[in-house]
Amino acid sequence: MDSGLSPQDKKDLDKFIKFFALKTVQVIVQARLGEKIGTRSSSSPTGSDWFNLAIKDIPEVTHEAKKALAGQLPGIGRSMCVEISLKTSEDIKVSYTVYNRLSVLLKSLLAITRVTPAYKLSRKQGHDYVILYRIYFGEVQLNGLGEGFQMVRVGVVGTPVGTVTLTCAYRTNLAFMSNRQFERSAPIMGIIVDHFVDPPGGGPRPVNMGHPCNYRAPDEDDGGQYAGVQDSQEVCTTSFSTSPPSQVLHAGKDHGGVVPVPGQPPHGADAHPTAENAANTPVVNLNWKYHKVYLDWRRSASPSDPVVSLNAFTRKIGAFVNKPNAPVTASSLDLPFAAFAPRGLDLEENDPMVQPPDSPTCPSPLQASLHSQGSEGSGQQDDFVMVDFRPAFSKDDLLPMDLGTFYREFQNPPQLASLSLHISAQSMADDLDSLPEKLAVYEKNIDEFDAFVDMLQ
Amino acid sequence: MNCRSEVLEVTVEARQVEEAMLALLHTILLHRSSGKFHYKKEGTYSIGTVGTLDIDCDFIDFTFVRVSSEELDRVIRKAVSEFKDALSSDGMGQISLEFYQKKKSRWPFSDECIPWEVWSIKVNVVNLANEQERQICREKVGEKLGEKVINVVEVINRHEYLPKMPTQSDVDNVFDTSLKDVQPYLYKITYQITDSLGTSVSTTMRRLIKDTLAL
């Protein structure tokens, strides 16, 4: 591949990158509007469908993106970043292979933007918060994403002048949001959005404040709000040639005839440093005071009414458990109340997905601990309470063997022998040793296997 | 030709099987579908536009993107529905999406189907005891599917091989041109079921073997 691009090719490539950047912004912002997106396929191309994908152009977003681009393109050392942030109501202080590959990259972006945690948040925005977006050039700012943020490389497309890399960095710790189901009426406490600051006296919105992602589509004909956007919208009429690159053909029209270049990826991929593009980053800095408040609430729950709360919020308690005769101590309450805790703080031993219950009837740990403490004798009554153990749906304990007895006897089964580590290692060694014998047996029966195969034909 | 094979594995409840399979299959097909080709004179062609739709799942906390084509959706749903019916309530199975190219052979040999990318989705079906566990499962399976979508995207963007853009006479050997609005690469969907004893006994499996051995 020759290192010099013809002026026409360079012009085409710049146009692809420009429209790729604009479409990327549209996909990201539209994914955070809070609505489902739908566009139609059409078998004949229309003028504005870049990369053969129907992605609507929201005029305001195009305007912002063009403003941010300011006539330049993303390049080496000049990454284009789209920042997604959350603003609460109380605080205002958020070439032919290149073209196809860019198209696939945009499709990947479509898929990825529905998968990051911010998508679910953005679908629920409205009363308590809105989602904002901000486009900027330069160094990617990842410091607002909190600890443990993830990076996904959406994809890489090599071009003759460099590599387009699309990366998404997203906050993973949205624990505050995912547990709102437990606290529907509680206000948003102690949230500090310290990334964006409202200027005193309500002046014009500061430069680093985001724009709302709550665009409502106007009527189809309304394009006049941003004069000049429609005019400068270039028409994308792409036409491809199936002939080999030495016989280059341009489409008859003069806007954007494109010739694909089949073959190896451009050498630029290894020679040039990458040009970063679009990082998708929610940038809210949640104050951790929220979690402290939440925990305090948990501990102050009334100890005199454990049964009702337990039934509502734990999975493991049996039905119809007797109310204890005396108040249950805080230490035995801690275990069931752990179900209240936000996901990040949840105790792993309570999570049935992590440690499946031992028995199918799933007796509650509270019952188990109360019972086993009871059976150890009266000497420990300072620390725990005796509770009558009446399993659900069982008759009185008159028969020699009934449900209650069954529970008691099979509470703590011994560990399975095959699960202990040294024994499983031993059995693996045995398996390996018996392998030659097994192979010999199979070889002996090779005729049978052949007969089976014949039968299938 | 070396055919790249990717395996994705998910564990779901019985009622989530359909949506989980649709989510993954449609995500792959989104990347492997193009607009309709329109060939013109002088060997040039233009490509139609692919629309996209966000689909919310009912039994999983998840939203996925598929191409806007009711025809394609019907075909995929039918295959997934057959797979789901064949799966027992706590069994294992695998559904495979294979992209292939046809190579014309001379009579009396039939056309060869040469796969160039195979995606296998292994499914383990579990039964959950109560509503609390089901609620947790909704969220966890949603997260898992998110991870799988990221896997799919990473794999697709790593792959170098795609069939060459065909000439007009050759397009049916590379693309499925039967749909009105989109044009996926030629693909086929097969599945196999493992019953609870761990043995593969389905007739589909036998058919697969037959096809491979047949000329």
Q: Tell me: pLDDT of A119 over 70.
A: yes
Considering only CB atoms, B45 lies closest to which of A40, A153, A242, namely: A242
Helix then strand then coil, % of chain A, to nearest 5: 40, 10, 50
Looking at the complex, report in whole angstroms how far the Cα of residue A408 sits from the nearest Cα belonging to chain B. Answer: 22
Rounded Cα gap, residues A293 and A84, in angstroms:
27
pLDDT classification of A178: cutoffs 50, 70, 90: very low
Q: Is A315 in Cβ contact with B130 (below 8 Å)?
A: yes
**Which contacts of B166-170 are long-range, i.e. CB under 8 A and separated by 24 or more positions?**
B166/A242, B167/A242, B167/B43, B168/A242, B168/B39, B168/B45
Looking at the complex, report in whole angstroms how far the Cα of residue A237 sits from the nearest Cα belonging to chain B. Answer: 8
The token pair that represents A266 in the structure block? 């451009």
Count residue pairs from A and B with Cβ separation < 8 A.
170
The angle formed by the CA atoms of residues A345, A347 and A351, to the nearest 5 degrees, is 115
Q: Is A44 in Cβ contact with B38 (below 8 Å)?
A: yes
In the block, residue with structure tokens 């990617």: A140
Looking at the complex, report in whole angstroms how far the Cα of residue B84 sits from the nearest Cα belonging to chain A. Answer: 24
Distances (CA, A) of A410 to A101, A336, A358, A373: 61, 22, 10, 16
- Digit-by-digit pLDDT tens for chain B (215 residues) are 567 889 999 999 999 999 999 999 999 999 999 999 988 877 788 889 999 999 999 999 999 999 999 999 999 999 999 999 988 777 899 999 999 999 887 777 788 889 999 999 999 999 888 899 999 999 999 999 999 999 999 999 886 688 888 888 889 999 999 999 999 999 999 999 886 555 555 545 555 555 565 54
Q: What percent of chain A has pLDDT over 90?
A: 14
Tell me the average pLDDT of chain A. Answer: 62
What is the SS3 assignment for A153?
strand
Looking at the complex, report in whole angstroms how far the Cα of residue A39 sits from the nearest Cα belonging to chain B. Answer: 5
For strands A80-88 and A129-137, give the pairing: antiparallel
- In the prediction, which pLDDT does A20 show? 93
Q: Tell me: pLDDT of A375 over 70.
A: no
Looking at the complex, report in whole angstroms how far the Cα of residue B23 sits from the nearest Cα belonging to chain A. Answer: 10
Q: Is B47 in Cβ contact with A52 (below 8 Å)?
A: yes
Q: Tell me: pLDDT of A11 over 80.
A: yes
pLDDT classification of A373: cutoffs 50, 70, 90: very low
Looking at the complex, report in whole angstroms how far the Cα of residue B90 sits from the nearest Cα belonging to chain A. Answer: 16
pLDDT classification of A260: cutoffs 50, 70, 90: very low
Q: Tell me: pLDDT of A1 over 60.
A: no
A287: left (phi > 0), else alpha (psi -120 to 50), else beta? beta
Q: Identify whether the C-beta of residue A278 lies closer than 8 Å to the C-beta of residue A80.
A: yes
A179-235 pLDDT, tens per residue?
Answer: 444 333 323 232 222 333 333 343 444 445 567 766 554 444 443 333 333 344 455
Which chain A residues touch B47 with a CB distance below 8 Å?
45, 52, 238, 240
Q: Is A54 in Cβ contact with B182 (below 8 Å)?
A: no
Considering only CB atoms, A239 lies closest to which of B46, B149, B157, namely: B46
Rounded Cα gap, residues A360 and A413, in angstroms:
13
A267-303 pLDDT, tens per residue?
Answer: 333 323 333 333 333 333 333 222 222 222 222 333 3
Looking at the complex, report in whole angstroms how far the Cα of residue A376 sits from the nearest Cα belonging to chain B. Answer: 31
Which one, of B156, B139, B121, B151, lies nearest residue B21 by Cα? B121
pLDDT classification of A144: cutoffs 50, 70, 90: confident
In the block, residue with structure tokens 């989510």: B23
Rounded Cα gap, residues A343 and A291, in angstroms:
11
DSSP chain B: -PPEEEEEEEEEEGGGHHHHHHHHHHHHHHHTEEEPEEE-GGGEEEE-BB-EEEEE-SSSS-EEEEES-HHHHHHHHHHHHHHHHHS-TT-EEEEEEEEEEEE---TTSPPEEEEEEEEEEEEEEE---SHHHHHHHHHHHHHHHHHHHHHHHHHHHH----PPPPPGGGGGGTB---SSSEEEBSEEEEEEEE-TTS-B--HHHHHHHHHHH--
DSSP A43-87: SS--TT-GGGB-----HHHHHHHHHHHTT---BTTB-EEEEEEEE
Closest alpha carbon within chain A to B26: A111
Q: Identify whether the C-beta of residue A28 lies closer than 8 Å to the C-beta of residue A194.
A: no
Q: Is A114 in Cβ contact with B45 (below 8 Å)?
A: no
pLDDT classification of A59: cutoffs 50, 70, 90: very high
CB-CB neighbours of A416 under 10 Å: 8
- In the prediction, which pLDDT does A389 show? 65
ipTM for this model: 0.84
Q: Is B65 in Cβ contact with A114 (below 8 Å)?
A: yes
Q: CB-hemisphere CA count at 13 Å for A230?
A: 8
Most confident of A100-104, A302-306, A413-417: A100-104
Which chain B residues touch A53 with a CB distance below 8 Å?
49-52
Which chain B residues touch A49 with a CB distance below 8 Å?
49
Q: Tell me: pLDDT of A378 over 50.
A: no
Rounded Cα gap, residues A383 and A387, in angstroms:
13
Distances (CA, A) of B36 to A108, A429, B48, B199: 20, 57, 5, 43
The token pair that represents B5 in the structure block? 């094979």
Best B19, B29, B54 member to test A by mutation, with max A CBs in 10 Å, is B54
Closest alpha carbon within chain B to A31: B54
Q: What is the DSSP letter of A415?
A: P
Closest alpha carbon within chain B to A50: B49
Closest alpha carbon within chain B to A151: B150
- In the prediction, which pLDDT does B205 show? 53
Mean pLDDT value across residues A327-345? 42
Q: Which residues of B61-90 are buried (b: 16+ CB within 10 A; e: fewer)?
A: bbbbbbbbbeebbebbeebbeebbebbeee
A388-442 pLDDT, tens per residue?
Answer: 666 666 655 555 556 777 777 777 777 776 666 655 566 677 778 888 888 888 8
Q: Tell me: pLDDT of A80 over 90.
A: no
| Alpha helices (H) in A226-329, listed in sequence order | 229-232, 268-271, 289-299, 306-313
Q: Is A112 in Cβ contact with B153 (below 8 Å)?
A: yes
Q: Tell me: pLDDT of A159 over 70.
A: yes
Q: Tell me: pLDDT of A39 over 70.
A: yes
Mean pLDDT value across residues A68-81? 85
- In the prediction, which pLDDT does B195 show? 66
Which chain A residues touch B56 with a CB distance below 8 Å?
36
Looking at the complex, report in whole angstroms how far the Cα of residue A316 sits from the nearest Cα belonging to chain B. Answer: 10
Considering only CB atoms, B48 lies closest to which of A43, A241, A362, namely: A43
* Poorest-pLDDT segment among A6-15, A127-136, B104-113, B179-188: B104-113
Considering only CB atoms, B31 lies closest to which of A36, A108, A240, namely: A108
Closest alpha carbon within chain A to B213: A457
Q: Identify whether the C-beta of residue B199 lies closer than 8 Å to the C-beta of residue B183.
A: no
- In the prediction, which pLDDT does A423 show? 57
- In the prediction, which pLDDT does A399 show? 56
Looking at the complex, report in whole angstroms how far the Cα of residue A35 sits from the nearest Cα belonging to chain B. Answer: 9
Q: Is A52 in Cβ contact with B50 (below 8 Å)?
A: yes
Q: Is B38 in Cβ contact with A108 (below 8 Å)?
A: no
Which chain B residues touch A110 with a CB distance below 8 Å?
30, 52, 65
Closest alpha carbon within chain A to B49: A52
Q: Is B130 in Cβ contact with A154 (below 8 Å)?
A: no
